[in-house]
Chains A and B, each alone.
Chain A
Amino acid sequence: MAKGISRRFWGKLVHVLVLTTFTILLAFPFYWMLITSFKQNLDLYTMENNPFLFNTKPTLDHVKFLFTETRFVRWLGNTAFVGVVVVAITLVLAVPAAYSLARLSGRWGERLGIGIFLTYLVPPTLLFIPLSRVVAYLGLQDSLWALILVYPTFTVPFSIWLLMGFFKSIPKELEDAAMVDGLTRFGAFVKLVIPISVSGILTVVIFTFTLVTQEFVYALTFISSESNQMIGTGIPIFLVRGDVYYWGALMAACLIASLPIAFMYNLFLDRFIAGFTVGAVK
């Protein structure tokens, strides 16, 4: 009796310890952002103070500073604007393409689909130099339109890949039935397949939007003026004046920008994962 109980006890203890350790290691920077955001500067920059505690009263100064003295709100707006437009472009390009590759193009479509997936593996750090010339040639330097032009290069391939898996899971008989009932192939796609796939399309919307908010390299390369920054570049680069880091405001900005994105991503996590597993999980 005692043997069974003690074994179960130790097992549980190890489980709790492992989980706690990993959770602390992984989530600590965000806890740190949180506590830093509300500390008075005096508290932050006194080395004798225990940094884990509030040694003076919590303050909203950093948050106020962020919203009134910096372009933070503008960056949020830029990011939302670019995000929405890129989502629209991605949907227009990816939804029909994915359906076509999943259904209409047979063996050929499969290969083309894999080819498109492989382009997702081509990183921004390989393309940013030539693309900076393309952007300059088009006169889009320091313009959000440069980002809108370029971001679909990574959102479209992955979205096509995700949606292909989604469309393949819809039974063919459904479309066949619709066409027997008098719809054209394209009509069946618009009136039947798209409504059924709303959740897949929503996944792509969220995924595309989060990818846009997470992007750094292109925004850093193409955008130079402070007012045209995205959150990913504006916060780490333009909240630093010369050599002075406004840590309180910086951390508040990081937290405010990160959490909504993290929430959205978390909701659709399982679907995104399906896009990454390349069919290695059934």
Chain B
Amino acid sequence: MAVVETRDLTKVFKEGQLGAVNHVNLETREGEFLVFLGPSGSGKTTLLRMIAGLETPTSGEILIGGQVVNDLSPRERRIAMVFQSYALYPHLSVYKNIAFPLKAQNVKKELHKEKVEWAASLLGIGALLDRKPRELSGGERQRVALARAIVREPAVFLLDEPLSNLDAKLRASAREELERFHRRVGTTTIYVTHDQVEAMAMGDRVMVLNKGVVRQLGTPTDVYDNPADTFVATFLGSPPMNLAELGDVIVGFRPEHFRPAPTISDAAVPFRFKVENIEYLGSEWIVSGTLVGEKLEGKKVFSRLSSAQNLQLGCMYDFAVPQSYLKFFDRSSEKRVAPRVVSWH
């Protein structure tokens, strides 16, 4: 097991253009499950590939287990990677796919069978060893890719959107299985995804990226409850955080904290809310509409409620947000600032 560190890591694909990854500093913890989260094109894959040694950094350093590995080839970095497409070798059986890293690293031949069987049983694919990749379902392929990654007991696991090729139902169960798998092997893992649900559910910590820049690195609760800037605030959560500009600050509140006034007992900021649309999602309701009155007149906001049966389209209601749930951001830098008193009216 080992810690991965990057120092000022930058990748510029075309000179003169904006970097795909810009000055990234990060340090994983021993045995941690770290998630890179960001919209598509934010540089997650590029960052991961630099750590794997598949892409040469433009500047900056990568350290694995305290050693600078910039000049080491992928094979010398003791890492394992699961690709988005799984990259199984189509001409080799499952057994030979899993055994390939052992062969490539000159592990003694006698040990192959035992290790392959260990990895296969860990992932529950012991019965598939004779099949070719094209005879497997998506979920089975993903497990073979994981088995191939685990078999040589790497220092670090790198996974690039390994669930994005599975259908929605399978994805949930595969996610759970991955978590269990990580708890069992305890290897430091870096996991790339653009799916915030995956990130929140699986990550010990989440690193939010945008345009190749780290926006925030923290636990899932951290990034959700205390977003470092408006990008993180709106990228996480669905519907996203409501933002309202008031003077030189931006005030934000999550839809689940924007509720009918009578249900709130703490100190709260009141609003008049005109309901314009109601969506029923089974376990919850998403209500959208506009604020009414003075400075925020016409501002579109969302509310997430466990029940909205007594609300009617086109009607006006008294809503409120508890004072303690308000987030404040500087208007020019969009970074979060300490709570302050603002005039709403």
Q: Is B267 an interface residue (CB 8 A)?
A: no
Q: Is B242 an interface residue (CB 8 A)?
A: no
Q: Is A280 an interface residue (CB 8 A)?
A: no
Q: Is B71 an interface residue (CB 8 A)?
A: yes
Complex: A7 Cα to B72 Cα, angstroms: 10
Interface residues of B in 69-93 (CB under 8 A from A): 70-73
Complex: A4 Cα to B53 Cα, angstroms: 12
Q: Residue-by-residue, is A66-102 near B (CB-CB < 8 Å gives 1, otherwise 0)?
A: 0000000000000000000000000000000000000
Complex: A5 Cα to B71 Cα, angstroms: 8
Complex: A136 Cα to B8 Cα, angstroms: 82
Residues of chain A lying within 8 A (CB to CB) of residue B73? 7
What's the interface size class on A, roughly? Answer: under 10
Q: Is A1 an interface residue (CB 8 A)?
A: yes
Q: How many of chain B's residues have a CB under 8 angstroms from any CB in A? A: 4
Q: Residue-by-residue, is A1-29 near B (CB-CB < 8 Å gives 1, otherwise 0)?
A: 10111010000000000000000000000
Residues of chain B lying within 8 A (CB to CB) of residue A1? 71
Residues of chain B lying within 8 A (CB to CB) of residue A3? 71
Complex: A63 Cα to B70 Cα, angstroms: 59
B3 to chain A, nearest CB (A): 22
Which residue of chain A has its CB nearest to the CB of B70?
A4
Complex: A3 Cα to B72 Cα, angstroms: 9
Which residue of chain B has its CB nearest to the CB of A5?
B71
Complex: A253 Cα to B73 Cα, angstroms: 52
B63 to chain A, nearest CB (A): 14
Complex: A3 Cα to B73 Cα, angstroms: 11
Residues of chain A lying within 8 A (CB to CB) of residue B71? 1, 3-5
Residues of chain B lying within 8 A (CB to CB) of residue A7? 73
Residues of chain A lying within 8 A (CB to CB) of residue B72? 4
Which residue of chain B has its CB nearest to the CB of A2?
B71
Residues of chain A lying within 8 A (CB to CB) of residue B70? 4
Complex: A1 Cα to B72 Cα, angstroms: 9
Complex: A13 Cα to B35 Cα, angstroms: 40
Complex: A282 Cα to B70 Cα, angstroms: 36
Complex: A3 Cα to B69 Cα, angstroms: 12
Complex: A4 Cα to B74 Cα, angstroms: 12
Residues of chain B lying within 8 A (CB to CB) of residue A4? 70-72
B263 to chain A, nearest CB (A): 54
B285 to chain A, nearest CB (A): 41
A21 to chain B, nearest CB (A): 26
B54 to chain A, nearest CB (A): 14
Q: Which of B70, B71, B72, B73 has the most CB of A within 10 A?
A: B71
Residues of chain B lying within 8 A (CB to CB) of residue A5? 71
Q: Residue-by-residue, is A125-165 near B (CB-CB < 8 Å gives 1, otherwise 0)?
A: 00000000000000000000000000000000000000000
Instruction: Enumerate chain B interface residues (CB-CB to A < 8 A).
Output: 70-73
7 A-B residue pairs with CB within 8 Å: A1-B71, A3-B71, A4-B70, A4-B71, A4-B72, A5-B71, A7-B73
Instruction: Enumerate chain A interface residues (CB-CB to B < 8 A).
Output: 1, 3-5, 7
Leading 6 A-B pairs by shortest Cβ distance: A4-B71, A1-B71, A3-B71, A4-B70, A4-B72, A5-B71
